[in-house]
Structure 1
Amino acid sequence: MIRKLVLPVRRMLHGTLRKLFNFLPQKRRFAVYRNFVDCDPAPDERLVLKIAETKEELAECFSLLHDAYVGSGFMKPDPSGMRVTIYHALPTTTTLCAKYDGEVVGTLSLIRESVLGFPLQRIFDLTAIREKRGNVAEVSALAVHRKFRRTGGSILFPLMKFMYEYCTTFFDTRHLVIAVNPKHIEMYESLLFFERLTQNVVENYDFVNGAPAVGATLDLAFAPEIFRRHYGSKPPKRNLYAFFTEVKLPNIKLPQRRFYTTNDPVLTPELLDYFFNVRTHVFSQLSDRKKCLMHTIYDLPAYQAVLPAISEGSQDGSARRRHQRFSVRCPAQLSLVAPDGAQSKIKLEVFQLSRYGFKAHALHPIPINVWGEAMIKLGPSEVSRIQVAASRDSGEGIYGFRLGEPDLIWRKFVNALYSGSIHADLENATRFMTDR
């Protein structure tokens, strides 16, 4: 009887304290958060941090993620018992895992840019980040096993250190971006000093079952100095500066690379088939356009049998040409990297565009079916950066281009064109396209 009374009282007390805490000024709240940091510089040797690379490790990561997302309402239960997205299928995505006594108890994925872009670029503008130097990666799919969620940071902080070390030494990444639930954003702001991409909350983010989301970014070039100022004088278990930049954890197993590469692809044709065809229906549920993009990413013969079939008429781009075209005059620049590493920049003038492609004049020859980054000025202060490839040479310096995944600026611009207005509505056109 007493126990039945104690539990509701505890919940009520906790709720009251939480409300009072929220009334504190932000600076005070963040200081309180930092006082609860618990980063053990000598974790239990049973903890191992590594890249998920085997079928068993990936399956445990996807299952842990599924249970965490279902429990938080970020997805509906899937018959596979896994959360697997198309971004997990990319060779530019790396899934990290924390294993305790051989069991996966923590995971997160780092998504580097590809022709499919980032999940959050559908709803957040990354222009300001792209204007700075350095590669961008989205931190996604973070989950910690329920039995370790109340043990301070015994799994979370070592996993974050692994992420930091991997990004700064192996992944050639400077800018991290995240899209998180508003309830969790202050943890990233106060402990890791992420800065919001915008103060606005996106109320319906389809990537997490329509839950609200806040976007934020961390510049890893400046992170060590920020950490030093706020954590440098704290004791070892509170000192995230030393933990991230000085402490060497033998628990971390960094990849052994034969060549100087910046990615660690682990998906063989067999693993792709197992996770995206057999256990889930991720490949079959893609649009024809995204199926075509997957074929451009995995253009080796060994992968063709497991990639999703493309419907007749889509391979030559005819499905894309059904989209309405618009006449424009937009200056642009195409950046290409040759196999020997040499970079070239070619000026373009885009004169016609649609949702997933454009035509442009070029002063110099452009190779066909070679992906590069196009920087297109859509307005006085609207610049879109998209992965593109020239799909056809119409002669006289006119090329047709196909797009990878459009960014937010491009989507806004095209939506404004479809709605018949291209001035004030450019900022307000937020009717995002659904392109599974």
Structure 2
Amino acid sequence: MSTYSRLRNLVHQAARKLFALLPKGKRHTIYRSFVDCDPEPNQRLVLKIAETREELEACFKLLHDAYVSSGFMTPDPSGMRVTIYHALPTTTTLCAKYNDQVVGTLSLIRESAIGFPLQRIFDLTNVRKKEGNIAEVSALAVHPRFRRTGGTILFPLMKFMYEYCTTFFDTRHLVIAVNPRHIEMYESLLFFRRLTSTVVENYDFVNGAPAVGATLDLKHAPDILREAYANKPLRRNLYHYFLETTLPNIQIPHRRFFTTNDPVLTPDLIDYFFNQRTTVFAELSDRKKTLLHLIYDLPEYRKVLPPLPDKQADSKIRRHQRFSVKCPAQLLSQGDEKAIPIEISEVSRYGFRARTSRKIPGEVWLTAVIQLGAQEVSRLTVQVVQGTDQDDKHYSGFRIGEPDLVWRKFVTALYQGHTHSDLDQATRFLS
């Protein structure tokens, strides 16, 4: 490194330290002064859903290089960052292309049986109280050539994300898990609010880097943005940019039916990315392999999914220790206006047994809202696996998709024998 480069780095480090000493409100004001959103981007810029093998591969490669350079992952032989969440039909990958080259990408991961990454380390109870679907904003990367160009790619990509979520993706709440170095950008520009004041010091999804969780309620975002940017010139006004500007660069997805997601992965694409180019499927746990088969319950997909565990392995999965409880809960299904009350009598890590007021159909995913304690509420994606009648009462066994943080803490406390007020202390290692 040259003397000039070393000197420049020292100056930048000193400036960051001085900036960090400013009051939070002042720092956020300075961040907003840097906004520069062009209402008429270059026509060579196109924003669309990544749907072809070439587009998806370019997104995954861009993401890989960005994560490796930031220390968020070790280099993968494929040169791509591909996760199990990219395989889900409820995940949409957006891309920005300039001169037909992918220069920006982000993925929107909506809830499914496998959930989304940050629910393992952050409690979403307060977000769920407001109702509405949740999607995690993940896998954001911008090509190095455009990182210092005043948001030439980032702001159009963010606008596309906002329009897609509010118009097509049936999403009210966005959640993010970002490195502490970047959280103030989201807080100051878009008014994300932190899920907790503490930092998770070791987030395994990004190679053990620290993470901060935050959320944005899209229902109230227009009013917040309008007030914050009311007196700003148009190029620095994100309210005007997100809600009043039309970008012809955005290619709106064409849908035949009134669906709320845009699955693009054909069996061939799944086989290419998750079997041939990477080892994502091969490294899945038996439980997640089973969940994947339940999500893609079609013959043409089964051929490319990882083999299901044999009966012996499956029996081992089911032999989790069970605990006797008495927890009130409700089952909700899409399109069913009335919740079904149930009472849970036994729980394990990935399932529970409950008394139900009526027979619950199998082979459909339901939402279970479970009162685990006076202040602890878990919301899980579940499916009936067996039902029995006993003394004019109906009992059902349920499998859980991906447990949320509240459920994980609850069951861990049971395993450790801590079921009283020190639950948080007994499970502090989880967060």
TM-score scaled to structure 2, two decimals?
0.97
CA distance in 2: counterparts of 1:280 and 1:387, whole angstroms: 28
CA distance in 2: counterparts of 1:146 and 1:4, whole angstroms: 21
The answer for the alignment partner of 1:94 in structure 2 is 92
The answer for the alignment partner of 1:69 in structure 2 is 67
Please give the per-residue CA displacement for 1:262-302, whole angstroms capped at 9, x wherever unaligned: 00000000000000000001011101100000001000111
Matches within 5 A, 1:125-204: 125-204=123-202
User: Are 2:398 and 1:404 equivalent residues in the alignment?
Assistant: no
Give yes or no for contact 1:34–1:191 (8 Å, CA) kept in 2: yes
Give yes or no for contact 2:290–2:309 (8 Å, CA) kept in 1: no
CA distance in 1: counterparts of 2:372 and 2:167, whole angstroms: 36
Summarize the Cα distance change of 1:342–1:334 in structure 2 as closer, same or farther, 3 Å threshold. Answer: closer
Q: Report the Cα offset of residue 425 of structure 1.
A: 3.3
CA distance in 2: counterparts of 1:102 and 1:12, whole angstroms: 37
Q: Report the Cα offset of residue 4 of structure 1.
A: 4.1
CA distance in 1: counterparts of 2:344 and 2:241, whole angstroms: 49
Which one of the candidate residues 345, 357, 367 is aligned to 2:351?
357
Amino acid at match of 1:418: Y
Please give the per-residue CA displacement for 1:139-170, whole angstroms capped at 9, x wherever unaligned: 00000001100111000000000000000000
Q: Report the Cα offset of residue 314 of structure 1.
A: 6.6
Q: Report the Cα offset of residue 133 of structure 1.
A: 2.1
Q: Report the Cα offset of residue 99 of structure 1.
A: 0.2
The answer for the alignment partner of 1:376 in structure 2 is 370
Give yes or no for contact 1:334–1:346 (8 Å, CA) kept in 2: yes
Matches within 5 A, 1:14-413: 14-313=12-311, 318-337=315-334, 341-396=335-390, 397-413=394-410
Q: Which runs of 5+ in 2 are unaligned?
A: none
Give yes or no for contact 1:109–1:139 (8 Å, CA) kept in 2: yes
Amino acid at match of 1:331: P
CA distance in 2: counterparts of 1:431 and 1:400, whole angstroms: 30
Q: Report the Cα offset of residue 9 of structure 1.
A: 2.6
Secondary structure of the equivalent of 2:257? coil
Secondary structure of the equivalent of 1:332? strand
CA distance in 2: counterparts of 1:226 and 1:336, whole angstroms: 32
CA distance in 2: counterparts of 1:143 and 1:283, whole angstroms: 24
Q: Report the Cα offset of residue 432 of structure 1.
A: 4.2
Secondary structure of the equivalent of 2:328? strand
Amino acid at match of 2:359: P
Summarize the Cα distance change of 1:281–1:427 in structure 2 as closer, same or farther, 3 Å threshold. Answer: same
Give yes or no for contact 1:415–1:431 (8 Å, CA) kept in 2: no
Q: Report the Cα offset of residue 430 of structure 1.
A: 3.5
For structure 1, which segment, 424-433 or 100-109, has the greater mean C-alpha deviation from structure 2 after superposition? 424-433
For structure 1, which segment, 84-93 or 394-403, has the greater mean C-alpha deviation from structure 2 after superposition? 394-403
Give yes or no for contact 1:74–1:210 (8 Å, CA) kept in 2: yes
Summarize the Cα distance change of 1:423–1:262 in structure 2 as closer, same or farther, 3 Å threshold. Answer: same
TM-score scaled to structure 1, two decimals?
0.96
Q: Report the Cα offset of residue 330 of structure 1.
A: 0.6
CA distance in 1: counterparts of 2:19 and 2:430, whole angstroms: 36
CA distance in 2: counterparts of 1:4 and 1:308, whole angstroms: 51
For structure 1, which segment, 226-235 or 190-199, has the greater mean C-alpha deviation from structure 2 after superposition? 226-235
CA distance in 1: counterparts of 2:167 and 2:312, whole angstroms: 40
Q: Structure 1 segments of 4 or more deviating over 4 A?
A: none
Equivalent residue pairs, number? 427
Secondary structure of the equivalent of 1:132? coil
Q: Report the Cα offset of residue 74 of structure 1.
A: 0.3
Amino acid at match of 2:35: V
The answer for the alignment partner of 1:427 in structure 2 is 424
CA distance in 2: counterparts of 1:432 and 1:22, whole angstroms: 29
Give yes or no for contact 1:288–1:314 (8 Å, CA) kept in 2: no
CA distance in 2: counterparts of 1:5 and 1:387, whole angstroms: 57
Q: Report the Cα offset of residue 115 of structure 1.
A: 0.4
Q: CA RMSD in A?
A: 1.4
Q: Report the Cα offset of residue 421 of structure 1.
A: 1.0
Q: Report the Cα offset of residue 310 of structure 1.
A: 1.2
Please give the per-residue CA displacement for 1:343-387, whole angstroms capped at 9, x wherever unaligned: 442111101010000101011111122210001111011010000
For structure 1, which segment, 149-158 or 227-236, has the greater mean C-alpha deviation from structure 2 after superposition? 227-236
For structure 1, which segment, 30-39 or 306-315, has the greater mean C-alpha deviation from structure 2 after superposition? 306-315
Matches within 5 A, 1:5-16: 5-16=3-14
CA distance in 2: counterparts of 1:41 and 1:232, whole angstroms: 17
CA distance in 2: counterparts of 1:220 and 1:111, whole angstroms: 16
CA distance in 1: counterparts of 2:192 and 2:374, whole angstroms: 29
Please give the per-residue CA displacement for 1:104-123, whole angstroms capped at 9, x wherever unaligned: 00000000000011100000
Amino acid at match of 1:356: Y
Q: Report the Cα offset of residue 17 of structure 1.
A: 1.7
CA distance in 2: counterparts of 1:359 and 1:304, whole angstroms: 29
CA distance in 2: counterparts of 1:4 and 1:399, whole angstroms: 69
Secondary structure of the equivalent of 2:160? helix
Amino acid at match of 1:36: F
Q: Report the Cα offset of residue 336 of structure 1.
A: 2.0
For structure 1, which segment, 35-44 or 4-13, has the greater mean C-alpha deviation from structure 2 after superposition? 4-13
Amino acid at match of 1:198: T
